[in-house]
Structure 1
Amino acid sequence: MKTLNNTVSRRRFLQLGAYGLVAVPVVGTLGWATAAQAADKVDESSETAQALAYTHDATTTDHPAFVEGSNCANCLLYTDTGGDWGPCAVFPGQLVAAEGWCTAWVAGS
């Protein structure tokens, strides 16, 4: 019967560990970007969007609760991604327009 020599040098162990530490954030970042890109935009005609009077363009709303200048980009529930669309806590797994608005709007800090 043949025996294998499973001895790993300390130097080789540290090299593999360093590669692993570098790979974890890179892989995590790629996965997060893919998940964000895969998210669908909120459909204005969906039940939830209609119940909250969501619109992709805040300037077109005539809802009585609308405050001039309010939009998703300056809402506390919106996560700014630096683009025109981003995630919102009210619509999990979907993206809302930064220039959009709904009745769940909360003044951001």
Structure 2
Amino acid sequence: MKSSRRTFLITSIGVASTFALSRQAFADAPKVAETDPTAQALGYKTDASKVDKAKFAKYVAGQDCGNCSFYQGKPTDAYAGCPMFAGKQVASTGWCSAYNKKA
């Protein structure tokens, strides 16, 4: 029994430290610029209230990255990852045309 407990503890510590390191590495990831080619293609704005509603009729007030299903952080995080912008962070107050309301 001691052996499996020891294995569990060692594995848990390893997983926790890997998670902490990867979270820190992502926290240092660059933020998406509105001039980024992918950002321009998706109509990304760091401030959702500045979305061109004529160009992106799908946009509705209240939609932002923080309540999008693709946002990889908590809604209260200022910036977090998004699979639309691999390796970069988006603003929780931002918006792009890939927006999908979180369930």
Give the TM-score normalised by structure 1: 0.75
Aligned partner of 2:50 in structure 1 is 60
Aligned partner of 1:3 in structure 2 is none
- TM superposition shift of 1:16: 7.0
Aligned partner of 1:75 in structure 2 is 68
Equivalenced residue count is: 98
Q: Which has the larger radius of gyration?
A: 1
- TM superposition shift of 1:20: 2.9
Aligned partner of 1:49 in structure 2 is 39
Measure the CA separation in 1 of the matches of 2:12 and 2:65: 35
Once the two structures are aligned, what percentage of the paired residues are identical? 30
Measure the CA separation in 2 of the matches of 1:80 and 1:22: 22
Unaligned runs of 5+ in 2: none
- TM superposition shift of 1:18: 6.9
Q: Deviations over 1:62-102 (max 9, x none)?
A: 23221111110111111124410011121111100000000
8 Å CA contact 2:64–2:93 kept in 1: the answer is yes
Q: 1:103 to 1:23 in 2, by over 3 A?
A: same
**1:103 equivalenced with 2:93 (yes/no):** no
**Larger strand proportion of the pair:** 1
Q: 1:85 to 1:17 in 2, by over 3 A?
A: same
Q: 1:25 to 1:50 in 2, by over 3 A?
A: same
8 Å CA contact 2:27–2:80 kept in 1: the answer is no
Once superposed, what is the RMSD of the aligned Cα atoms? Answer: 2.2
Give the TM-score normalised by structure 2: 0.79
Q: 1:58 to 1:15 in 2, by over 3 A?
A: closer
Measure the CA separation in 2 of the matches of 1:97 and 1:39: 12
